[in-house]
Amino acid sequence: MRTRPLRAKLGFMSEKKANPDFEASLKTLEGLVEKMERGELTLEQSLQCFEQGIRLTRECQTALTEAEQRVEILLGKDANAKPIPFDEADDDRTE
């Protein structure tokens, strides 16, 4: 059983400031976690929930990364900075 809400585990900021699509994805993700934690799903159902959860987690993480980039630009940490797509940011870390 979870000890903290999923939002706290993933380090989310205020719900009211987030994109509604982000919030819908997060709510769906929380529902999937609750279903899986009850232990009433078949193996196939659990795998489907897990796959959907991974996809939603990646979507949420992408949205958070983009929001973080926008905040950094707005705060003026780099006046010439422009947001970069998530995939490109990930490529930079592996080099």
pTM strictly above 0.75 = no
pLDDT digits (tens, 9 = 90+) for 55-73: 999 999 999 999 998 888 8
Indicate the domain borders of the chain: 18-94
Contact status, residue 29 vs residue 56, Cβ threshold 8 Å: yes
Instruction: Please report, to the nearest 10 degrees, the dihedral formed by the alpha carbons of residues 26, 30, 32, 33 taken in order.
Output: 130
CATH of range 18-94; options 1.10.10, 1.10.287, 1.10.3470, 3.40.50: 1.10.287
Which of 5, 37, 7 is closest to 22 using CA atoms? 7
In angstroms, the CA 86 to CA 73 distance is 16
pLDDT digits (tens, 9 = 90+) for 14-52: 444 545 688 999 999 999 999 999 999 999 999 999 999
Which of 94, 92, 10 is closest to 59 using CA atoms? 10
Contact status, residue 63 vs residue 19, Cβ threshold 8 Å: yes
Q: CA 77, 18, 38 angle in degrees (round to 5)? A: 125
